[in-house]
Structure 1
């Protein structure tokens, strides 16, 4: 057997935010891609023994939706601890009244972080599995625990009764609750029995290679689809016009580029710092110490601090090692490493060395910031930068994000015999006393001004000839 599991938005490896407003639309897009996904994973299409769609709890609403929208795609359906709320005739289990049941569901949906975009009444009334399942004629298994404390088992009884097919089975499990039903042998026995029966029953129709769509209003065979979003199907213009009042809230066909960007979900992001330096004298070591202190003092810690340096002499190397020992002993980030080179390098060469030496410390969603002895961060630098990185993460066209929120010592501070202290307030203190100035948009281009996607930086250094990396910007 092969299993394809789909997460809601914002769950598992899926980006974005979970919402009742998107679960059906996302499920339709996934169902259309099922043949392609199977072929991409080396599986045959049509799948020899047929596909069974399964939905648990609120996911049962999604399973019923795709099973009725794509009747020739699935051979059978399993509903586990199903939510059976319907726009008409719903029972909401043993709840004494509708308001009490809606209040119960509001608490559970909020626990699950499902964004309720409309009133809860409107959202739950849109979950019409009881209406949709009437047109499902394939094999059906409905499972529910009799001691389910969240979803009344009577809803599953209603779904079983409403299903249009004859090959249907209801398994109510004594002692099982909502989240422990999988611990009962009766649960797995019923699943195995149902799957074997669906696979071996030669009287069931085979799944065809072409997906047939049904009307979103009457569930009859569809003849056309919405011209704007190209996602919702109808049997004719009359039902398309009738459904428009509901569909227009989610139809995205005419969304402008700005609206699409605004609606784009945030992605995962973290900051990995590459601290690079060629230390030629003691003031350089002091400057590098101030730089590292400002990185380690962030209110929002960086994911990793990776250091690559070259020291012009052995005494400088000993001084640098003594200084670095203080930082490597701290636990302000998940990973700290130091790589000392025998010869001076450009920032690009230091970057390549760190990418090769510390690949295990750089996650796929990381953005790299390169800093040197002249760079000083406010302790809020990462906190300000991260929202921009998360917003840019889902768009693969964005390879770097500009960030000028850092300071650099002026010449007088660089030449000073007594360097200012290296602590959490170093950047603010130097700027306040005039010994450092804030970066500005008109300054020369520098690696310190941008955060670059880790995979883009890796591709750049791998494909760029070594002589080119030996040049600075």
Structure 2
């Protein structure tokens, strides 16, 4: 028994040393390339900058909303950069929606290295700066939209907004969200379960979402092999919102949730936010 405890402690100690770079590589495989959004000819889409609390440069892509249209505060998934979402941003623009999209640290020209605590702080800095980034009034609906790990960013930001009585989002839209990052790790790599407790990036969405009462829409592919659809269902059940719904997209995996039917439903939902 003593040997077992010794080897278990040794395994965890070695894991603590090795897990940090592995975790960063797996969780944030970001592309640091800075791209000028005006080169995509998306009407009104430009690059802005903010300075984080620790003086790190943050790149933000923005577009002013058309009159009466909402502003989408967009948090992308854990891979690549903002330029890889240009098709989505173009669709938002065709509907007249405003856009404020954060380039995570280490992505899209933003400085530094991504980590949960820093991303949370950067998201709040960006949210508080909305009047400086886009043309909005007190009547402009603000929608938090997060895809994959961006859904976790949206949830944590929504919790902070409510705790501090900041401007309440008109809605929260989560695409392929997970319950907590260690749950995803165990789903994909069951043998890593012993070291999930020492992960720096946990993003505990299921434990947080009950503190948020903004209207909620979840989009999730039924065939998502990366983040099982059951995690979306669990978040829906745990949500503290009275107005909440989930669309399970038949035949869709993790990266192809937006088909024509979903886009039509999403735009109808966004247009109804007030």
1:193 aligns with 2:268: yes
**Hey, what does 2:110 align to over in structure 1?**
14
> C-alpha distance in 2, partners of 1:158/1:33?
32
CA distance, structure 1, for counterparts of residue 191 and residue 232 of structure 2: 16
Query: Does structure 1 residue 35 correspond to structure 2 residue 35?
Result: no
Match of 2:136 among 40, 44, 52: 44
Q: State the match for 2:145 in structure 1.
A: 54
How far residue 124 of structure 1 moved from its aligned partner, in angstroms, is 6.9
- Distance of aligned partners of 1:104 and 1:172 in 2 relative to their CA distance in 1, 3 Å threshold: farther
1:271-312 deviations in Å (ceiling 9; x for gaps): xxxxxxxxxxxxxxxxxxxxxxxxxxxxxxxxxxxxxxxxxx
Q: Distance in 1 between matches of 2:257 and 2:191?
A: 20
Task: State the superposition RMSD in angstroms.
Answer: 2.5
Deviation at 1:25, TM superposition (A): 2.0
User: What's the TM-score, normalizing by structure 1?
Assistant: 0.34
CA distance in structure 2 between the partners assigned to 1:52 and 1:105 by the alignment: 38
- Classify the secondary structure of the residue corresponding to 2:99: coil
Q: Secondary structure at the match of 1:171?
A: strand
* Shift in CA distance, 171/140, structure 1 to aligned 2, threshold 3 Å: same
Q: List, as ranges, runs of 4+ consecutive aligned residues in structure 1 with deviation greater than 6 Å.
A: none
The 8 Å contact of residues 86 and 131 in structure 1, kept in 2 or not, is answered as no
Q: Can you list the C-alpha shifts for 1:35-78, whole angstroms capped at 9, x where unaligned?
A: 3322xxxx1332x2310001110111110011121133311100
SS of alignment partner, residue 4 of structure 1: strand
The structure having more radius of gyration, on CA atoms, is 1
How does the TM-score come out when normalised to structure 2?
0.57
The CA distance in 2 between the partners of 1:44 and 1:100, in whole Å, is 42
More helix by share: 2
How many residues are matched?
Answer: 172
SS of aligned partner of 1:101 = helix
Distance 1:16 1:124 in 2: 16
Q: Secondary structure at the match of 1:175?
A: coil
Q: Mark the runs of 5 or more structure 1 residues left unpaired by the alignment.
A: 94-98, 107-118, 200-473
Match of 1:132, SS state, is helix
**Which segments of 5 or more consecutive residues in structure 2 lack a partner in the other structure?**
1-96
The residue that corresponds to 2:230 in the other structure is: 154
CA distance in 1, matches of 2:120, 2:147: 14
